[in-house]
Amino acid sequence: MTNLDDMRRLGLFDARVPRYTSYPPATAFSPQTDQAFQTASLQALDPAVPVSVYVHIPFCERLCWFCACRTQGTTTLKPVANYLQVVLKELALLRDTLPQGVRMGQMHWGGGTPTILPPEMIRTLAKAVKDVIPPAENFSFSVEIDPTLVDEAKIAALAEMGMTRASIGIQDFATDVQEAIGRKQSFAQTRACVETLRAAGITSLNADLVYGLPYQTPGKLADTIAKVSALDPDRIALFGYAHVPTFSKRQKLIPDDALPKEEERYHLARQAANAFTGSGYTAIGIDHFGKPEDSLTRAAKSGHLRRNFQGYTDDTCPTLIGIGASSISQFAEGYIQNAAATAAYIERIEAGQLAGHRGYAMTETDRLHAQAINMLMCDFEIDLTALASHPQAATLTSIHEALLKDFAGYVTRSGDKISITPQGRALTRIIAQRYDGFSSIAAQYSQAS
């Protein structure tokens, strides 16, 4: 039996599983955990421990059809300006809620398209966040950037406000692939963006690619990889396209028959991974690659890699505060998501209350399962010694034993380590799901392959 036969037998080409950027997955969130939980969690923060901040900008000048993010199209800056004013009010509410002295270790702006903001709005937003949660020592600031919607003035404003890393959306450079996903972006535009970022002193660059897109082929992907390599990013994120048209209506514009089949997706992912590791990048987790000196690579090697709503991170802050519509906050007590629809978010903030709408309060059992899943997703192994301090650790014994049996040859045990072999790492999300107490929840998760 070939490795491909094994992958098929173990469900790689059929399974739909969470990406485990959180545990429990957001599908387990409930309105019973709401704004009161959010307020109590914020008030309980220890000012001596820095927090991370995520700001969501839910606007784009164009709506890419492949995207399932919470965003909306606009041809004018009026709704963006109005939204910014509401975010400033949310920040004022946070100021009144947070204990004095809370500092910010990391900040990330995502969307949507954060670079839809003109320079003056970039400065206003960054200054407002820093005024409420001042930067801690070694503060880092990353921004998702659309090369077709950024210019020298915007990049200069971001650099002035302390941006340290840029995450550049690329997806694929093939013209027919771009047309099929509603995102036209030339290599020349992207290269100009990279050159402007570097000229502005931004030394850490991340490139986001997607496999499994319509009309994508090994030849086209090879060309994209060569062009990305020419840009010389410090790290690369290689995401599998999640086709969920029942959730993201715009994806209905993408013809199903143009999408690579499950096994073709698998080969595209392997092709890209082999190309990047072959050119000197280190594989990190299931879908990232970094230069040897990159901070994410160092975190992976030292055992400090973590998983959060942006994917893999070297962020050591235990708390993430989400700002803006649909943003998710993570506390020791659990998760809370702001109202997802922009109108609902605005309504809550304008009423003088925080926007927490639904969430989840963690139990000790949840924390145990979350720790096991995070170990698998980040390190491809479970350290039984590290889990042993949890009073319920023994409840996982049957899961450990079932894994070793069901994934024989791909999951092994040596001493107190249960590990996924290099040949079995494509199965990581499926293996992690064995520790998921919410796996029976009906949800349209993305393909495992």
SS3 of 389-416: the string is: CCCCHHHHHHHHHHHHHHCECCEEEECC
- Per residue in 264-318, pLDDT (tens digit) is 999 999 999 999 999 999 999 999 999 999 999 999 999 999 998 888 999 999 9
Residue owning tokens 């790689």: 12
Per the CB < 8 A criterion, the answer to whether 342 and 83 are in contact is yes
- What pLDDT score does 246 carry? 75
The torsion angles phi and psi of 97, rounded to 5 degrees, stand at -100, -40
Question: What confidence category does residue 73 fall into, taking pLDDT thresholds of 50, 70 and 90?
Answer: confident
Is 211 strand, coil or helix? Answer: strand
- The model carries a pTM of 0.94
Is 262 strand, coil or helix? Answer: helix
Cα 289 to Cα 43: distance, rounded to the nearest angstrom:
37
Cα 34 to Cα 422: distance, rounded to the nearest angstrom:
41
Mean residue pLDDT across the chain = 94
Rounded to an integer, the average pLDDT of 57-70 is 82
Q: Would you say the C-alpha torsion 257, 236, 432, 271 has a positive or negative sign?
A: positive
- Per residue in 130-142, pLDDT (tens digit) is 999 999 999 999 9
- What pLDDT score does 69 carry? 74
Determine what percent of the chain is predicted with pLDDT higher than 90.
86
- What pLDDT score does 245 carry? 81
Residue owning tokens 């995070």: 374
In single-letter form, the type of residue at position 312 comes to: Y
- Per residue in 333-368, pLDDT (tens digit) is 999 999 999 999 999 999 999 999 999 999 999 999
- Per residue in 158-215, pLDDT (tens digit) is 999 999 999 999 999 999 999 999 999 999 999 999 999 999 999 999 999 999 999 9
Cα 335 to Cα 327: distance, rounded to the nearest angstrom:
10
> What would the two tokens of residue 352 be?
């003088």
Cα 104 to Cα 107: distance, rounded to the nearest angstrom:
7
Left if phi > 0, otherwise alpha if psi is -120 to 50, otherwise beta: which for 413? beta
